[in-house]
A and B are shown apart, each in its own frame.
Chain A
Amino acid sequence: MSFDQKTLFDKVWDAHVVRKIEDGPDVFFIDRHFIHEVTSPVAFLGLESRGIDVIFPEHTFATADHNTPTINQHLPVQDPLSANQLKALEQNSAKYGISHWGLGNPKNGIVHVVGPENGITLPGMTIVCGDSHTSTHGAFGAIAFGIGTSEVEMVLSSQCIMQPKPKKMRINVNGTLGKAVTPKDVTLYIISKLTTAGATGYFVEYAGDVFEKMSMEGRMTVCNMSIEMGARGGMIAPDQITFDYIKGREMAPKGDAWVSSLANWKSLKTDEGAKFDKEYYFVASDIEPMITYGTNPGMGMGISQLIPKASDLSGGTATYDKSLAYMGFDEEDRMIGKKVDYVFIGSCTNGRIEDFRAFASVIKGRKKADHVTAWIVPGSHIVEEQIKAEGILDILTEAGFLLRQPGCSACLAMNDDKVPPGKYAVSTSNRNFEGRQGPGSRTMLASPLVAAAAAVTGYVTDPRELIQ
């Protein structure tokens, strides 16, 4: 064994280090920078007060998503504070020559959906955004992670940030996934095993045949949730599935550039014998459809199981009790059969076409439960158009569901899509923190299939019972 074996992460990281600072961070070069209306205004103010310019405006991309309404997007935004942020994004983009996909633009949508679907996100790149779910783009073999607003200002002004190199973790899942077990279930399972802080300080590579067989949409769902176990990000080595997804997308390389890019991308994998600081192995057949019962994404369980007892878990009992009390659940409760008031399908986790296909596969020929309010929110206009083109909209309409317009929506409830206090939501989003979907809201995270089963029955239901 030589010392030359590198992980996928090493290869991409090391190619982007401009300068190493002794006993300090690396000066780390950023290829692609996404911005949105909530975490960028203060960064632009910073540039102004220092009197500095945007160094490479062509490598920053702006989209409006976090606080946008999901109905009547052609009308002026009613909330003055949201409208003000949207206007700031538009004005700052225009001032510095940054491309901006605002409300009404056919390319508008959630930043982590539109980047990949327009071919901006490519293997081997470094990608950041003032949003922790930037880890999504790791699905393409990119190093992608969320940053704070001060760092947004750094990227705008210098195309670099200061980052110590994280430690390396590999998570292997091998075998065949069972019926109705989706990429969301795989990630909720992993997080339930590692806990919400289990990967803090690490950058994760996902490996094994479960990920090799997974679609790009599924890989994005998995990488998206890396932050929920504390990881800086997660990535998957690019392969033919990746290349097929990228080819022909609007901003992807074409012609000779495609040929040379492809040759480079094919080298992006972990060398045999390369060392990780930590490695986990899981078996695909151990995973069943998952649902969360508490107030962090690590509090997940197989849907047919009972809520664990605090004494069976590590960590503080007081925090656990507080969490279950917030949810109105008890130790050893069954999740199946719990009443559901709201269902949300969408977000940067599960707002892509495959997610709506899965949702439609369950609701087809069924009706929405009367007491359920459902928010069906595509991740982008491109996804919205696919939903219409594939006949999914007809299935939704037939079953009594309304398709809304793209945006982050009820994932963080910055717009009007808020779950009322005390109400229960089954949500395909990424966080079940207290009040995340509105003050007092109670969130159960799950896959689009579990969300669909809840939407038509009105109760937490095992989707395997509804699928042939």
Chain B
Amino acid sequence: MAYDKFISLKSTMVPLPIENVDTDQIIPARFLKATKREGFGDNLFRDWRYNPDNTPKEDFVLNNSVYSGKILVGGRNFGSGSSREHAACAIYDYGFRCVVSSFFADIFKNNAINMGILPVQVSPGFLDEIFSIIEKDPSSELEVSLTDQTITILSTGSRENFEMNSYKKNNLMNGFDDIDYLQSMKSEILEFAKTRAI
């Protein structure tokens, strides 16, 4: 899918200080029945966000108007479990463009980048710093620069670098995707296929 370019982002944050947030929480399997990539944001964190009678659970962060923004900050091992891209899709569709955690599950990380979401892995200490800043002042902002590969807490100036390989960085900054790249090397792939007795 072609997506918006990601160069930098300055935003308030939504904190979710829970570890091992799995993709079944991000979007439960019963909401995977669409044949289009639309509307998943409504069911983001469905069972944490709504009661069985569909009334909002007031203690869940997405239902707390104090918190908002384009950056979701999650605990360690964010996105574990199923390969469902719908999880990244729901996060994007809800309006997030960046997820910050101290550790991401592999498949989720790939899916996020393929959706145009920037996953930013920070140190555990920096993650704690972010959570405590939000707790003190929910209007605190983060600035994420993909160009410089830095993440900065604006109120304190505290900053970390994050990793991103130059291929994926180029894709995100230009809104390219892997399918464009693969299509451009189709003859090379066809030649290679001849060597595989499949």
Contact = CB atoms under 8 A, between A and B. Distances in A.
Say whether A associates with B. yes
B83 A148 contact: yes
B106 A230 contact: yes
A154 B33 contact: no
B162 to A, nearest CB: 15
A281 to B, nearest CB: 24
Given A146-B83, A413-B30, A19 B179 contact: no
Interface string A112-149: 00000000000001000011101000000000001111
Interface of A: 16, 18-19, 21-25, 27, 29, 31-32, 38-39, 41-42, 45-46, 50, 52, 55-56, 59, 66-67, 79, 81-82, 84-85, 88, 125, 130-132, 134, 146-151, 153-154, 157-162, 164, 166, 196-197, 200-201, 227, 230, 232, 296, 315-316, 318-319, 322, 412-414, 421, 431, 433-436, 439-440
B55 interface: no
Contacts of B85: 39, 42, 130, 148-150
B65 interface: no
B186 A158 contact: yes
B84 interface: yes
Nearest to A128: B83
A164 B167 CA distance: 11
Interface string B172-186: 000001110111011
A82 B35 CA distance: 10
A93 to B, nearest CB: 14
Given A24-B168, A146-B83, 16 more contacts: A31-B196, A41-B34, A45-B37, A52-B183, A85-B33, A125-B198, A130-B85, A150-B115, A150-B178, A200-B77, A200-B105, A230-B105, A232-B107, A316-B75, A414-B30, A435-B24
B154 interface: no
Contact of A23 (B84, B167, B193): B167
Contacts, number: 197
A170 B165 CA distance: 26
B177 A150 contact: yes
B103 interface: yes
A115 B35 CA distance: 24
A201 B83 contact: no
